Amino acid sequence: MKNLILVLLLFPLIASAQVDVCALNIGNDIPEATLLDQDGQEQSLQELTKDKPTVLIFYRGGWCGYCTKHLAAIQDVKDEVEAAGYQLIGITPDHVDNLEKSVEKSKSDYPIYSDFQLQAITGFGVAWKVDDELYAKYKKDYELDLEEWSGDKHHVLPVPAVYIIKDNKVQFNYVNKEYSIRLEPETLVSLLKTL
C-alpha cells in the first residue's frame, strides 16, 4: 500500500518531467548489451534472443508499483506468449542485488536482468535522466533513492517499453512516455499471433 501511495504521489512529478527519448523502431537491429542475471552472471542480450523470438519488457524498477503490476499482468499471459513461440525477458536499471524484489512483488517467473550499466536501455533509446531536483525530491520526500536501487549515480530510468524481437531485429515496439499507461497483456498476445 505504501508503494502504491508513493507512485500516486510521484505521478504529477514524473508527468511534468521532460522525457525525451529516441527509441529503436521496427526493422532496427538490437544493440549489443551485457546484462546481469539474478546470480550476477553476465549475459549477452544478443545471445539471449538470437535463437528464440523474444518479448523484452523495460521497466523502471522494483520500487515502481506500475511496473510490478505490469510484470504481474504479463505473467498472467506467459503461457499464451510461450504458446505463440516467444520467451519473456524483463530489463531494469536495478542493481542485481535488487532483482529479487521485482520477482517477489510481481510473482513473475520469467527471467529479469539488471542493466544498471544502461547498455540495453541506452541502446534501445529509452533512457531518460532524472534531473537533480527530481532526484532530491524522490529521496527526501518519498524515501526513494535511485542510487540505492541501481547501485550507481547515473540517475537514469527507462521509459517503460515493450519490444518484440525476432532474428535480433525489432518487429514491434510500444514506448509510452506516460509511465502509467502500459501495453495490455491481451494486446501483446494478439500481436504475437500476427507476427
In this prediction, residue 89 carries a pLDDT of 98
> Which pLDDT tens digits describe the chain residue by residue (195 residues)?
343 333 333 433 343 344 568 999 999 999 999 999 999 999 999 999 999 999 999 999 999 999 999 999 999 999 999 999 999 999 999 999 999 998 999 999 999 999 999 999 999 999 999 999 999 998 999 898 999 999 999 999 999 999 999 999 999 999 999 999 999 999 999 999 998
Domains and CATH numbers, the chain: 23-194 (3.40.30.10)
Distance CA 72, CA 76 (A): 6
**pTM, full prediction:** 0.87
Cell of 17: 518531467
Distance CA 98, CA 119 (A): 18
Distance CA 93, CA 158 (A): 8
CA dihedral of 172, 175, 181, 186, whole degrees rounded to 10: 10
Give 174's strand partners.
Answer: 162
N- to C-terminal Cα separation, the chain? 38
Helix (H) or strand (E) holding 184: none
In this prediction, residue 9 carries a pLDDT of 36
In this prediction, residue 5 carries a pLDDT of 37
In this prediction, residue 19 carries a pLDDT of 58
